[in-house]
Amino acid sequence: MKELSQPAESAFSDTPQQWHDIDWCRVQRNVRGMQIRIAKACREGRWRKVKTLQRMLTRSKSARYLAVRRVTENQGKRTAGVDRVLWDTPHAKWKAAQGLKRHGYQPRPLRRVFIPKSNGKERPLGIPTMTDRAMQALYLLALAPISETAGDPNSYGFRIERSTADAMGQLFVCLSKKASAQWVLEADIQGCFDHINHDWLIANVPTDKAVLRKWLKAGVVHKGQLQATDAGTPQGGIISPTLANMALDGLESQLKQHLSVTRAKKLKVNVVRYADDFVITGTSPEVLENEVKPWVEQFLAVRGLRLSPEKTQIVHIDQGFDFLGWSFRKYQGKLLIKPSKKNVKAFYSKVKGVIESSKTARQEDLIRALNPMLRGWALYHQPVVAKQAYSRMDSKVLLKLWRWAKRRHPNKSLEWVQKRYFSTTGDRNWVFATTVTEGGGAKREIALYSLAGTPIERHKKVSGEYNPFDPSMEEMGEKLRTERMLKKLKYRTQVASLFQSQKGLCLLCNQPITRETGWHDHHIIYRSQGGRDSLDNRVLLHPICHTQLHIRGLTVSKPALSGALLKA
């Protein structure tokens, strides 16, 4: 086989004939170029050009390929709609991409399912068919640049490179100082996704009105019965979070215009929103009750929404409030953010359920089931004052595991049970651990993740003005994405090392590896051919690029931090 030194995309034909012929580097470059132009036209207020560019993008082959790729790689790829169709083969994906057209498109009804909520109630989800999901993903590619450009600066839910930790960081900025606002309107919208006014969405969301109307009026099928949808946007649709965000955009900017920017600053009115949960600060309860809350209620009423009476309240910062799983409260003038009691209780119930359902499981299987849960919970609360919560949770989990171990051996002494299931590691006693045998006969100890061993690290908040579709902020976005990926990979040192050496790029398509795209760990010389597990024989690739590489018989070689080399 002959080694090629030209860029990776040269190994692909200009006109792909099947799914694995698609040049994803070119596809993403084409789509991103159009999205940047849409965002620029939006900033300039040139709405006729926005509409023209959106039409061009949704009719392009590149956008159709990306839309199908998204719905066949996300978590819902194995969940079918009412037609029970899945796109699980390259041929099905290719055929689907060719058939994504506006002309003659008629969405199918949603399949209604229910998932439990933390308060014991059930949350309805509407599952669209694969075709409808792909069409939503296609039109979302054209809508995302507008929602990111026109969105409120301190809206953090369902937006690119924004998270709950960013919302927490903004609240810390608004509440932590001595002169900060002392009163908080903690608000929650009642059934936001279920009650958004369809007419308002169709009139105000800058996308294809006819297609949007069809999605909103598609109806749902529950227990074999077709039910009409007169309001709301279904939880489960790809475009739904963006539609809900756009319905609430203006809550921050228009409120400050209503009060006047100078007066809002004087009254210390700040809005921090994550999806349909939001917090508004103020200098006094009268300002929040008599001026801010009535305006918010009027703002929401136009959109068919209203505040939840049970979950909306005005509190003093010394009394504290819960938001996104954290408790915000000042103690003798110092703001402390801790895991909320409700969040801690819900998490322990989840852990307890896993342990109780694993009464006959092997110890190593139980450890492998618990560790991702414990690590995920610990990393979520890592930016806040969580050491005490970590230690308490460790103690409660340890006690539960001790009971689990004793129950398995009722006729053995407590000392025997302790030696069988617990060990001493370093300065830690009572470590729930066991020894496992790996391939080749090598033995290794695996232990339960220690919550108390998680270091507290302050979160670096994204700028409220950050726009992923603004070329002037490209460097900021790359730095932010890289830092957050490395933090995510902190406990996977080898993957983090590969990610850093590749500058965060897939070596086949030269596009960023992110939390959304995921990655595969590829061996350049296959292990079946004697390849080693050392870092110099491994690279990170996107899952779809990894599949493409094997199907087409390509190989990548580790570059000297330049583009990937291909063998055909």
**Mean pLDDT value across residues 91-113:** 92
pLDDT at 531 over 90: no
Report DSSP letters for 446-474, one per residue.
Answer: EE---GGGSPP----PPPTT--TT-GGGH
Residue 131: half-sphere exposure toward Cβ, Cα within 13 Å: 18
Encoded tokens for 276: 């349909």
pTM confidence score: 0.88
Residues 279/171, Cβ–Cβ less than 8 Å = yes
- Angstrom distance (rounded) from CA 51 to CA 348: 50
Check pLDDT > 80 for residue 521. yes
pLDDT greater at residue 531 or residue 277:
277
Spatial contact of 542 and 513, defined as CB atoms under 8 Å apart: yes
C-alpha 527/C-alpha 315 separation (Å) is 61
Beta strands 220-222 and 225-227 are antiparallel
Q: What is the pLDDT of residue 8?
A: 42
Q: What is the pLDDT of residue 116?
A: 75
Strands lying side by side in the sheet with 270-274: 270-274, 277-282, 183-188, 313-316
- pLDDT band per the 50, 70, 90 thresholds, residue 7: very low
Average pLDDT over residues 299-313: 93
The C-alpha atoms of residue 280 and residue 372 are separated, in whole angstroms, by: 34
pLDDT of residue 11: 58
pLDDT digits (tens, 9 = 90+) for 455-470: 999 999 999 999 999 9
What is the average per-residue pLDDT within 179-201?
A: 92
C-alpha–C-alpha distance, residues 465 and 273, integer Å = 15
Helix boundaries (H) for 72-195: 90-99, 130-150, 164-175, 192-195
Determine contact, residues 171/272, Cβ cutoff 8 Å: yes
Contacts for 52-61 with beta carbons within 8 Å, 24 or more apart? 53/142, 54/142, 54/143, 54/206, 54/207, 54/208, 55/208, 57/31, 57/141, 57/142, 58/102, 58/138, 58/139, 58/141, 58/142, 58/208, 59/102, 60/30, 60/31, 60/34, 61/97
Measured in whole angstroms, how far is the alpha carbon of residue 534 from the centre of its chain?
31
Report the percent of the chain where pLDDT is more than 70.
Answer: 95
Q: What is the DSSP string of 209-266?
A: HHHHHHHHTS-EEETTEEE---S---BTBTTHHHHHHHHHTTHHHHHHHHH-HHHHHH
- Measured CA to CA, the distance from residue 507 to residue 288 in angstroms comes to 53
Q: Taking a C-beta distance cutoff of 8 angstroms, is the pair 354, 370 a contact?
A: yes
Percent of the chain past pLDDT 90, that is, above it, reads: 66
Query: How many degrees, rounded to 5, is the angle at CA 414 between CA 410 and CA 416?
Result: 95
Alpha carbon distances (Å) from 439 to 436, 442, 443: 10, 6, 9
- What is the dihedral sign for C-alpha 316, 317, 318, 324? positive
* Of 2-6, 220-224, 367-371, the least confident: 2-6
Q: Does the pLDDT of residue 566 top 70, yes or no?
A: no
Question: Rounded mean pLDDT of 295-320?
Answer: 94
Strands 270-274, 334-339: pairing is unpaired
Cα–Cα nearest to 237, from 260, 218, 257, 209: 218
Q: pLDDT tens digits for 348-385?
A: 999 999 999 999 999 999 999 999 999 999 999 999 99
Instruction: Check residue 217 and give its pLDDT.
Output: 92
Average pLDDT of the residues in 197-208: 95
User: Which element (helix H / strand E) includes 499?
Assistant: helix 493-501
* Residue owning tokens 């307890």: 352
Greatest extent of the chain over all pairs of C-alpha atoms, in Å: 79
Nearest to 567 by CA among 549, 546, 545, 541: 549
Say which range, 115-119, 212-216, 419-423, 428-432, has the weakest mean pLDDT: 115-119
Task: Residue 469: name the closest of 63, 50, 43 by CA.
Answer: 43
pLDDT at 96 over 80: yes
pLDDT at 565 exceeding the cut of 60: no
Closest alpha carbon to 126 in 254, 232, 213, 5: 232
**What is the C-alpha separation between 96 and 76, in angstroms, rounded?**
16
Predicted local confidence at residue 12, as pLDDT? 65
Question: How far is it, in rounded angstroms, from Cα 144 to Cα 163?
Answer: 17
Q: Which of 356, 357, 314, 320 is CA-nearest to residue 336?
A: 320
- Band (484; pLDDT cuts 50, 70, 90): confident
Its sign, for the CA torsion 505, 510, 516, 522, is negative
**How many Cα atoms occupy the beta-carbon half-sphere of 160 within 13 Å?**
23
